Amino acid sequence: MRYKQKENHKIKKLITLLGIIILVTIATIILHNMYLEIEPYQSPLEEQMQVERLSTTVEEKKEESKKIVEVIEEVNESIVGISKIKSSGSSIFSENGISELGMGTGVILSEDGYILTNWHVAGEKYSNCYITIENGKIYNGTVMWADSDLDLAIVKIAAKGLTPIKIGDSAQVQVAEAVYAVGNPIGFEFQKTVTSGIISAVDRTIKIEEENKLSYMEDLIQTDASINEGNSGGPLVNVNGEMIGITTIKIASVEGIGFAVPINTIKPIIQKFLQTGKFEEAFIGIYGFDREVIPYLNGNIEFDSGIYVDEVSVSGPSYKSGLQEGDIITQIDQVTLNKMSELRNYIYQKQPGDNVTLKVLRNRREIEINITLGKRG
């Protein structure tokens, strides 16, 4: 009997405890919901500060947008249209449209008429083209320098008072940086069109197959800003309106991938033209590849740094000095080399007849080769 009383007492205690737990849980839920419905008190000063912060953010966005508009307007003053055939006023949508007219874009480098564009737009050295400036006036242009490997050319027109573009530093370009491509995307009827994007990658190498010929363009800037045949040759600019590259190629099979040649690649040539009005190009006489390109050519070739010499011109100074195919150039005049663009840039700063010393790896043995630079015709 006493045992049963104890059992009943335990059961009552357990039921009481469960009831308390249930009541506490319900009370907690009710209080929590009531708390969520209470709006926190904000003093008038706090409300004013919140409005001011929001207003400041909106104003900053407006100022940023206004700045970009002003920057692009300034860039547009330096944009020109280029054609290999003088326009007769017919529409670009006619049968002799953009492809037959050979239209493209260029950018003004100097007040007195030096213009930078693509080689495939302007043509070979000493060839002629037609330049249309901002006010619609057409000039005869002469190609003063051209390089098909870089797809770059410099053209001269007899003009004064032009607005040159600001030149930036492509070595400072960063991935995800905002950029703008400016040009004539499908001819003069759509001149000075702007497309925006970001820097997707740097130091890109692109394989190009044209007319059964295989070549590579190296050290390119990759962007998702729209680039096509018409605005090729125009500038790729940063948010400050500084030209960091020249747009050059678009992969037709992949949307949103375009490329530009870094402006630093051609800076020495631009400077010589602007300072002296001429450029005598020194010639070393080799065709080489960066280390990153070699796996495309021969998977059995391995080296840690330097430039692989793929071809030596038999009429060039390197051949006469003993440089051979398969050599790996690691230095020029004690300057370390890892890219063809670095060698090219160094040679651009030299004069025909200057002497340079190459440090070369051949069969894993280091040798030095002295070369007297020639003159490119």
State the catalytic residues: 120, 151, 232
Pairing of strands 365-372, 104-108: unpaired
The answer to whether 226 touches 181, Cβ cutoff 8 Å, is: yes
The answer to whether 309 touches 286, Cβ cutoff 8 Å, is: yes
Q: Which residues lie across from 370 on neighbouring strands?
A: 357
Q: Which phi and psi angles does 279 have, rounded to 5°?
A: -145, 110
| 348: Cβ contacts below 8 Å, ≥ 6 apart | 266, 268, 269, 281, 282
Measured distance CA(141)–CA(113) in Å, rounded = 9
Measured distance CA(20)–CA(12) in Å, rounded = 12
Work out the angle at residue 358's Cα, subtended by the Cα atoms of residues 355 and 360, and round it to the nearest 5 degrees: 160
In order of 151, 158, 228, 235, the CA distances from 252 in angstroms are 17, 36, 9, 20
Measured distance CA(48)–CA(158) in Å, rounded = 61
Say which residue the tokens 């006493």 belong to.
2
Say which residue the tokens 């430039």 belong to.
307
